[in-house]
Amino acid sequence: MQFCLICIFILAHTVSAANSAVELIKNGSFENDSHWNLAINGDAAGKGATANGIYTISVKNHGTEGWFIQLTQNDLPIKKDFYYTFTLEVSSSIPRTIVTSICKNSDDYLPYSKRDTLTIDTVMKRYEQTFQMLQPSDSTARVEFNLGKYPGDVKIRSISLIEVREPSITFTRIEPRIVVSGDPVKLIWRSLALKGPLKLNISYDNGVSWSVIDSNLSVTDSTSWIAEKILSPWCYFKLSSSTISAISDYSLQIVPNGDNIENGSFSGKLSHWTINHNQVDSIVRFPSDSGIVLSKNNPTDSIKVLILSQKSIQLQVKKSYDLFFTCYSSTQSTVKVVLSSCIHKNPPPVDTAVFVVSEKATRFQVRFISQKTQSDGLLEFHLGAGKNIISFKDISLITLPDTLHSNRITYKTLYNTEFKSNSYITKDISCCHLKYPHATFNLAGRKINSHLSDSNMDRVRKSCGVIIVVPKIHQSRKTPDQN
């Protein structure tokens, strides 16, 4: 049985106006209490202390006014017509409110920002406000926190006041990253010094064309989008105002319904899976948040002696499949993925993929094409080398549609079909981010490596002489397209 592994190289995109930001708060991470002033006024009583990056105000008597307990920092240079983003994280020992603002440091203490009353509780929460300075410039402004009037100790950390010189838009979260049609996708963004509304577009072809999702969104907001019945691993989102735009920095994948792997989350048991412990003293456990953890207590030199496998996988002739899995290891190690036939005693060599895994949980992906229809596919993860702990979760084998590479996607395919040498075509390849940066592929047992001529580029991994290069998004700081 043979499989043809195809590497697909994807460009990561970010388009936005250059943003030069200046931090005005000193010691906002509270390494100590320098630059901060705690004033106790009237009949209030309390004290402040820093520890582990948190400033704690212990309130013994809250007094009758909010300003009776006041934390401040002075001499902040606030400039007329500039925009500022003010952020902090705060909690309290019991539910209560506090008042905060950026304001004048004399006379009527005129607020330059919104004077906000924050409702806080025992959970540390992030607060953010963006404002424009509409008053004359003030080089001695202050940030103030009024902590009196109500009982409850207050903890504050990560205070920041950023001067925004140019507008910007940033996607802060898009989840999940892999969906099927009909699934909701949550998009959250932040924009600085912009006026709305914003337009949200989606591209299903890596930025070649764009479709409008919504054209009336707030400058700092979130929205939910329902994945459409368009299958693509190269979906990007774009937010735009009348002058600038930003594109999500990683792709969303819309995949078909259905999974060829049984119990890919392990569900607290080993059902449908087999572990070969040959010459390895190992312990298997199932975490409460799904997945499987294998602890190897004695080192070994062979990568084949501890194998996690599943057999009787249904495969169809000339069908494309994507294998996804999340993996991490207590120490850097190698995981080899093999898909072969489970009914032959000595099956012929097949294509494999080798991944370097580390302490950071990483989502890996391999694509292959089955050369025949069969019901005896065998998926193996070889992980016997070294004494370490390896975790797997969310293993999926997705059948891709025949229309995956339809005319919606424009790409260039380069071939080296004879495989007579280790020479590979690298002409016209230009990528900043690769789809499979961790994988080394083999063809019939032969290791395939190649390099781009530019030493600053990432290593290119490819097999079977096929490279699909997806076109770049044209970047611009000017008015975006009006799709």
CATH number of the structural domain spanning residue 354: 2.60.120.260
Closest CA to 451 of 441, 442, 462: 462
Collapsed DSSP state (helix, strand, coil) of residue 99 = strand
Task: Please state the rounded mean pLDDT for residues 450-454.
Answer: 34
φ, ψ dihedrals at 299, nearest 5°: -75, 155
pLDDT of residue 11: 31
pLDDT of residue 350: 54
Judge if 104 and 229 occupy the same domain: no
Q: What pTM was computed for the model?
A: 0.43
Least confident interval from 24-38, 50-64, 247-261: 247-261
Higher pLDDT, 405 or 283: 283
pLDDT of residue 61: 96
Q: Which domain holds residue 148?
A: 21-164
For the domain that residue 225 is a member of, what is the CATH number? 2.60.40
Query: Which amino acid, residue 456?
Result: N
Q: Do the domain assignments include residue 124?
A: yes
Conformational region of residue 468, where left means phi above 0, alpha means psi within -120 to 50, and beta covers everything else: beta
Q: Do the domain assignments include residue 292?
A: yes
What is the residue whose two structure tokens read 């012929």? Answer: 348
Distance of CA 281 to the CA centre of its chain: 35
pLDDT of residue 293: 93
Task: Please state the rounded mean pLDDT for residues 155-174.
Answer: 87
* Summary count for the chain: helices (H), strands (E): 0, 35
Q: Do the domain assignments include residue 427?
A: no
User: Is 388 within 8 Å of 330 (Cβ atoms)?
Assistant: yes
Query: Which amino acid, residue 232?
Result: S
Report the percent of the chain where pLDDT is more than 70: 72
| Number of domains the chain is built from | 3
- Which are the contacts of 411, defined by CB distance < 8 A and separation ≥ 6? 405, 468, 469, 470, 471
Higher pLDDT, 402 or 473: 402
pLDDT digits (tens, 9 = 90+) for 300-332: 555 556 889 998 888 887 777 878 888 999 988
Average pLDDT score over the chain? 75
pLDDT of residue 351: 62
Judge if 110 and 82 occupy the same domain: yes
What is the residue whose two structure tokens read 């048991």? Answer: 269
CA distance 367 to 4: 8
Judge if 32 and 160 occupy the same domain: yes
Hey, CA dihedral for 4, 473, 194, 113, is it positive or negative?
A: positive
CA distance 118 to 197: 27
pLDDT of residue 278: 63
Q: Which two tokens stand for residue 204?
A: 């299903």
pLDDT at 371 over 70: yes
- Which are the contacts of 210, defined by CB distance < 8 A and separation ≥ 6? 201, 202, 203, 238, 481, 483
Q: Which two tokens stand for residue 53?
A: 């990056």
**Order of strands, sheet of 184-192, starting from the edge strand that comes earlier in the sequence:** 168-175, 184-192, 222-226
Judge if 64 and 144 occupy the same domain: yes
- How are beta strands 125-132 and 282-285 bridged, if at all? unpaired
- How are beta strands 54-61 and 96-103 bridged, if at all? unpaired
Distance of CA 258 to the CA centre of its chain: 25
Task: Please state the rounded mean pLDDT for residues 143-148.
Answer: 96
Judge if 332 and 381 occupy the same domain: yes
Report the percent of the chain where pLDDT is more than 90: 34
Burial class (CB in 10 A: 0-12, 13-18, 19+), 347: middle
φ, ψ dihedrals at 66, nearest 5°: -60, -40
Q: Which two tokens stand for residue 123?
A: 């959970």
pLDDT at 364 over 50: yes
pLDDT at 468 over 70: no
Query: Which amino acid, residue 287?
Result: P
pLDDT at 418 over 70: no
Judge if 64 and 131 occupy the same domain: yes
Q: Do the domain assignments include residue 10?
A: no
- Which are the contacts of 426, defined by CB distance < 8 A and separation ≥ 6? 450, 451, 452, 453, 460
Collapsed DSSP state (helix, strand, coil) of residue 68 = helix
pLDDT interval class at 142 (50, 70, 90):
very high
Q: Do the domain assignments include residue 264?
A: no
Angle in degrees, CA 119, 121, 124, rounded to 5: 105
CA distance 258 to 437: 27
Judge if 208 and 243 occupy the same domain: yes
CA distance 219 to 239: 10
Judge if 39 and 159 occupy the same domain: yes
pLDDT interval class at 69 (50, 70, 90):
very high
Judge if 63 and 151 occupy the same domain: yes
What DSSP string runs through 413-447? EEE--S--SS----TT---SS-S-TTEEEEETTEE
Judge if 202 and 236 occupy the same domain: yes
- Which are the contacts of 368, defined by CB distance < 8 A and separation ≥ 6? 3, 4, 5, 6, 320, 321, 323, 339, 351
Greatest Cα-to-Cα distance within the chain, rounded to the nearest angstrom: 89
Q: What is the dihedral of CA 103, 108, 114, 116, to 10 degrees?
A: 100
φ, ψ dihedrals at 474, nearest 5°: -75, 120
Q: Do the domain assignments include residue 224?
A: yes
Judge if 74 and 197 occupy the same domain: no
Q: How far is CA 418 from CA 75, 306, 322, 413, 465, in A?
A: 71, 35, 26, 16, 8
Q: Do the domain assignments include residue 295?
A: yes
pLDDT digits (tens, 9 = 90+) for 184-196: 999 998 877 677 7
Identify which of 54-68, 296-310, 417-431 has the greatest average pLDDT.
Answer: 54-68
pLDDT of residue 353: 80
Q: Do the domain assignments include residue 457?
A: no
Beta-ladder partners of 190: 170
pLDDT digits (tens, 9 = 90+) for 81-138: 888 889 999 999 999 999 999 999 998 999 999 888 999 999 999 998 888 899 999 9
Name the domain boundary from 255, 282, 309: 255
Least confident interval from 310-314, 390-394, 445-449: 445-449
Judge if 179 and 160 occupy the same domain: no
- How are beta strands 198-203 and 168-175 bridged, if at all? unpaired
